[in-house]
Amino acid sequence: MRRNLDRRVVVTGVGLVTPLGTGVEKNWAGLVAGRSGIGLIDRFDVADYPTRIAGEVRDFNPLDWIEKKDVRKMDLFIQYAMSAAEQAMRQSGFKITEDNADQVGVLVGVGIGGLVTIEENHLIFLDSRLKRLTPFFIPKLISNLAPGQISIRYGARGANLATTSACASGSHAVGEAFRMIRAGYLDAAITGGAEAAISSLGIGGFVAMRALSTRNDNPEAASRPFDRDRDGFVMAEGAAALILEARDLAIARGATILAEIAGYACNADAFHITSPAPDGVGAAKCMRLCLDDGDLDLNQVDYINAHGTSTPQGDIAESQAIKRAFGEHAARVAVSSTKSMTGHTLGAAGAIESVFTVLAVANGMIPPTINYEKPDPECDLDYVPNHARPKKIRLALNNSFGFGGTNTTVAFRPAVQD
């Protein structure tokens, strides 16, 4: 039952697993230093692939986060999600009890799910038919077992679901969790996104689309959003988690508030299965809807964590969308793409970048767009090139867009204890 239609919602804990490392401290240090997490793929043979680079997570040990008997029940994307959730829960100090469990939800965005598990078990099936298939095959691969496993671990009995909307999946999860808490359906949520689709078939599928960078001779410079010489995105993997709480309840328990979610919107281009709408019309409308949702002043927006994938058309469309949404103020907004450092984590991207935006707001520091060397006349905004920038941020937006024309924007502002 709804109890309140206008509660404020805050972030009290975050967790990260990305190509920059496992843990928030590693990631933030990497972002501020402008470090790339992109390298040559070493998990499978890519000798005959035109793209041989990706953002692999190289320091992750599932046994640091999950009991050995449970690891075999989880595809890698679920393992990443479990790690991020545990990090966020530890930081927040939030406890799920018998008294509050029904009001705590788990919403996690997943774009593809257990592709590696599907590939591995298909080969087993072809070799032995039904004889060697594991009973964990389906539970390992389906998207909703990321929130499902998190819910089981912590005993959260509220809304439990996976949002699947391509590269906007993680942002949709964060935004919908925010809406549920604001409207009183939940008091708190573990939310975020997860993806681990770096596989022979996953890379192969995007190669077939000609969507990936082929800058194999210089992997760290391959993801270069808004740069004139960008040639496609770099596929990556990872997860992020955020603990969201009703602000009054977080304050009552003495929680440290990292940032407040100030607004959220989602919409659709209704245009094309992969290409954005011309001139960024849908994305521009989404940003304006987000500001309207929170009754926010566009002139207060100091930073946009851009979707910025490093694709030729996508970066132009987003730049045009920002100018369409903000008018003259667009020239005064700092815009950066942290995908220049992490690569594109697909369904996890919106959640990872939500955490990056929270950290930017909390620390007064805007992460850079690295590898920005040659300006593109069609991308003419302030992309915070190559070096982090100290800045007190009044209001920040995180944009995420996905195949099928799906758009999301989430707004964050500093924690205020009034």
Q: Give the catalytic positions in this structure.
A: 167, 307, 344
3-state secondary structure the chain: CCCCCCCCEEEEEEEEEECCEECHHHHHHHHHHCCCCCEECCCCCCCCCCCCEEECCCCCCHHHCCCHHHHCCCCHHHHHHHHHHHHHHHHHCCCCCCCCHHHEEEEEECCCCCHHHHHHHHHHHHHHCCCCCCCCHHHHHCCCHHHHHHHHHHCCCCCEEEECECECHHHHHHHHHHHHHHCCCCCEEEEEEEECCCCHHHHHHHHHCCCECCCCCCHHHCCCCCECCCCCECEECEEEEEEEEEHHHHHHCCCCCCEEEEEEEEEECCCCCCCCCHHHHHHHHHHHHHHHHCCCCHHHEEEEECCCCCCHHHHHHHHHHHHHHHHHHHHHCEEECCHHHHCECHHHHHHHHHHHHHHHHHHCEECCECCCCCEECCECCECCECCCEECCCCEEEEEEEECCCEEEEEEEEECCCC
CA distance 287 to 278: 16
- Both structure tokens of 171: 């942002």
Residue whose structure tokens are 């919409």: 267
274-to-210, 282, 406 alpha-carbon distances in Å = 12, 14, 10
Closest CA to 356 of 310, 314, 318, 303: 303
291-to-32, 278, 287 alpha-carbon distances in Å = 27, 22, 6
